[in-house]
Amino acid sequence: MSIDPAISAFADDFAREDDVLLAARDTADELGVRPLSPATGAALMVLTRAANPKTVVEVGTGVGVSGIYLLRGMNHAGVLTTIDVEPEHHKAARAAFASAGFAPERARLITGRALDVLPRLTDGGYDLILIDGKITEFPAYLDEARRLVRPGGMIIMTHALARGRVADPAQRDQDTTAIREALRSVRQSDHESSSLLPVGDGLLVVLANL
């Protein structure tokens, strides 16, 4: 079972993206990148604004669509650390951030495989972590995120419904299996509060207990 396409389209239209985001989506089409849906981006920005983070890590820069939503929701003095294995993606994201009016020092773009970069980041040093990137590595990203997030901080995982496949036991592809593993880990945890939101392709929101 998946979200009704008409409802998803209505939610995306409600988000009202500006020219900066629309241009970034055009770049995503050119580079073969699938960014978060407008409704998912809007939810991400609202969650980020509520958390008011100063230090954010994003796994999977893409062309900067999710990064713009994060930066628009973050504390104005905050810095986004965003990781992607493709230099071309970072070039596009840097241009998108500049078009959105963000100073270069607001975003630290690290090119490399996330599972090589994340272990080098500071334990408990981040207010919010967004997990995107390679879906089969989501459980490993989650393990790293739990180490990196401060007590009371937020972890958000995208694609948490795998286009509805997580609800179908017959679906056992690698992506769906990885997402189920991450969801199971969070649901069984006594040290986190969480909610699975059926927006876009699904958002898992986790708060690290104080």
How confident is residue 1, by pLDDT bands cut at 50, 70 and 90? very low
Of the chain, the end-to-end C-alpha distance in Å amounts to: 35
- The angle at the Cα of 69, spanning 65 to 75, to the nearest 5 degrees, equals 140
User: Domain residues of the chain, as ranges?
Assistant: 5-208
Does residue 108 register a pLDDT over 90?
Answer: yes
How confident is residue 5, by pLDDT bands cut at 50, 70 and 90? confident
Predicted TM-score (pTM) of the model is: 0.95
Whether 202 and 162 have beta carbons less than 8 Å apart is answered as: yes
Position 163 scores a pLDDT of: 84
How many whole angstroms separate alpha carbon 116 and alpha carbon 134? 13
How many whole angstroms separate alpha carbon 183 and alpha carbon 192? 12
How confident is residue 3, by pLDDT bands cut at 50, 70 and 90? low
Does residue 45 register a pLDDT over 70?
Answer: yes
Helix, coil or strand: residue 141: helix
- What the block records as the tokens of 138 is 């989501």
Report the percentage of the chain scoring pLDDT > 90: 91
How many whole angstroms separate alpha carbon 143 and alpha carbon 63? 25
Task: Annotate 4-57 with DSSP letters as a single string.
Answer: -HHHHHHHHHHH---HHHHHHHHHHHHHT--PPPHHHHHHHHHHHHHH--SEEE
Under CATH, to which class is 5-208 assigned?
alpha beta
How many whole angstroms separate alpha carbon 70 and alpha carbon 52? 10
Burial of 5 (0-12, 13-18, 19+ CB in 10 A): exposed
Once rounded to an integer, what is the mean pLDDT over residues 74-92? 97
Q: Which of 145, 159, 142 minimizes the C-alpha distance to 197?
A: 159
- 53 compared with 7, residue with greater pLDDT: 53
Instruction: Tell me what the pLDDT averaged over the chain comes to.
Output: 95
